[in-house]
Protein backbone atom coordinates (compact mmCIF):
# COMPACT_ATOMS: atom_id res chain seq x y z
CA UNK A 1 0.00 0.00 0.00
CA UNK A 2 1.60 3.34 -1.02
CA UNK A 3 1.89 5.98 1.72
CA UNK A 4 -1.06 8.28 2.31
CA UNK A 5 -3.64 5.51 2.04
CA UNK A 6 -5.40 4.05 5.07
CA UNK A 7 -4.91 0.31 5.54
CA UNK A 8 -8.52 -0.60 6.15
CA UNK A 9 -9.82 -4.14 6.67
CA UNK A 10 -12.68 -5.82 4.82
CA UNK A 11 -15.93 -3.86 5.20
CA UNK A 12 -18.08 -3.15 7.06
CA UNK A 13 -16.44 -0.28 8.97
CA UNK A 14 -17.14 3.45 9.36
CA UNK A 15 -15.87 6.51 7.49
CA UNK A 16 -16.05 10.08 8.82
CA UNK A 17 -15.85 12.44 5.85
CA UNK A 18 -14.79 15.96 6.88
CA UNK A 19 -14.78 18.56 4.07
CA UNK A 20 -13.63 22.07 4.98
CA UNK A 21 -12.47 25.50 3.94
CA UNK A 22 -10.28 27.57 6.23
CA UNK A 23 -10.25 31.12 7.54
CA UNK A 24 -7.18 33.34 7.26
CA UNK A 25 -6.39 32.73 10.94
CA UNK A 26 -4.00 29.77 10.95
CA UNK A 27 -2.55 30.33 14.45
CA UNK A 28 -1.82 26.94 15.98
CA UNK A 29 -3.52 24.97 13.22
CA UNK A 30 -0.64 22.88 11.89
CA UNK A 31 0.54 21.77 15.33
CA UNK A 32 -3.00 20.87 16.37
CA UNK A 33 -3.73 19.00 13.14
CA UNK A 34 -0.59 16.94 13.63
CA UNK A 35 -1.34 16.28 17.30
CA UNK A 36 -4.90 15.20 16.49
CA UNK A 37 -3.77 12.87 13.70
CA UNK A 38 -1.31 11.19 16.12
CA UNK A 39 -3.91 11.01 18.89
CA UNK A 40 -6.58 9.61 16.57
CA UNK A 41 -4.30 6.80 15.43
CA UNK A 42 -3.75 5.82 19.08
CA UNK A 43 -7.48 5.39 19.68
CA UNK A 44 -8.78 1.84 19.84
CA UNK A 45 -10.82 1.19 16.72
CA UNK A 46 -9.24 3.89 14.57
CA UNK A 47 -8.27 2.30 11.23
CA UNK A 48 -6.36 5.23 9.75
CA UNK A 49 -7.11 8.38 7.76
CA UNK A 50 -6.58 9.98 4.36
CA UNK A 51 -6.26 13.72 3.85
CA UNK A 52 -5.87 16.18 0.98
CA UNK A 53 -6.19 19.96 0.61
CA UNK A 54 -6.09 21.46 -2.87
CA UNK A 55 -4.72 24.75 -4.13
CA UNK A 56 -8.28 26.17 -4.11
CA UNK A 57 -8.39 25.70 -0.32
CA UNK A 58 -10.94 22.88 -0.15
CA UNK A 59 -9.75 20.08 2.15
CA UNK A 60 -11.09 16.55 2.62
CA UNK A 61 -10.08 14.27 5.49
CA UNK A 62 -11.60 10.81 5.72
CA UNK A 63 -11.04 8.95 9.01
CA UNK A 64 -11.89 5.28 9.29
CA UNK A 65 -13.17 3.49 12.39
CA UNK A 66 -14.00 -0.09 13.29
CA UNK A 67 -17.55 0.68 14.42
CA UNK A 68 -19.92 3.39 15.62
CA UNK A 69 -18.68 3.14 19.20
CA UNK A 70 -15.16 4.02 18.01
CA UNK A 71 -16.53 7.01 16.04
CA UNK A 72 -18.38 8.22 19.11
CA UNK A 73 -15.42 7.72 21.46
CA UNK A 74 -13.19 9.81 19.19
CA UNK A 75 -15.82 12.55 18.86
CA UNK A 76 -16.02 12.79 22.66
CA UNK A 77 -12.28 12.51 23.43
CA UNK A 78 -11.38 15.38 25.79
CA UNK A 79 -8.40 16.71 23.80
CA UNK A 80 -10.30 16.32 20.55
CA UNK A 81 -13.22 18.34 21.99
CA UNK A 82 -10.76 21.17 22.68
CA UNK A 83 -9.53 21.00 19.09
CA UNK A 84 -13.11 21.02 17.78
CA UNK A 85 -13.86 24.20 19.74
CA UNK A 86 -10.82 25.99 18.30
CA UNK A 87 -11.73 24.73 14.84
CA UNK A 88 -15.21 26.22 15.08
CA UNK A 89 -14.05 29.51 16.59
CA UNK A 90 -10.89 30.11 14.59
CA UNK A 91 -9.79 27.80 11.77
CA UNK A 92 -12.76 26.70 9.69
CA UNK A 93 -14.71 29.00 7.38
CA UNK A 94 -17.13 26.19 6.56
CA UNK A 95 -17.29 22.45 7.03
CA UNK A 96 -19.47 19.46 6.28
CA UNK A 97 -19.09 16.32 8.36
CA UNK A 98 -20.69 13.06 7.26
CA UNK A 99 -20.66 9.73 9.09
CA UNK A 100 -21.01 6.77 6.73
CA UNK A 101 -20.91 2.99 6.91
CA UNK A 102 -18.54 1.53 4.32
CA UNK A 103 -20.24 -1.44 2.66
CA UNK A 104 -17.84 -2.31 -0.19
CA UNK A 105 -14.23 -1.48 -1.07
CA UNK A 106 -11.93 -2.03 -4.05
CA UNK A 107 -8.22 -1.42 -4.71
CA UNK A 108 -6.45 -0.87 -7.98
CA UNK A 109 -5.13 -0.83 -10.53
CA UNK A 110 -4.36 -4.54 -10.57
CA UNK A 111 -0.62 -5.07 -10.56
CA UNK A 112 0.32 -1.57 -9.40
User: At its nearest, how many Å lie between its own copies and the CB of residue 67?
Assistant: 12
What is residue 12's three-state secondary structure?
coil
User: At its nearest, how many Å lie between its own copies and the CB of residue 79?
Assistant: 19
Residues 70 and 63 sit within 8 Å (Cβ to Cβ) = no
Residues near its own copies (CB under 8 A)? 1-2, 4-6, 8, 11, 15, 17, 19, 21, 50-54, 56-60, 62, 87-89, 92-110, 112
State which residue, 9 or 44, has the beta carbon closest to its own copies: 9
State which residue, 78 or 106, has the beta carbon closest to its own copies: 106
CA gap 28, 32 in Å, rounded? 6
What is residue 43's three-state secondary structure?
coil
Amino acid sequence: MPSGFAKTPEPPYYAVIFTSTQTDDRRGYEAMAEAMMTLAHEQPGCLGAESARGADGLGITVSYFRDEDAVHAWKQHARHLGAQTLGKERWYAHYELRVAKVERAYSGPQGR
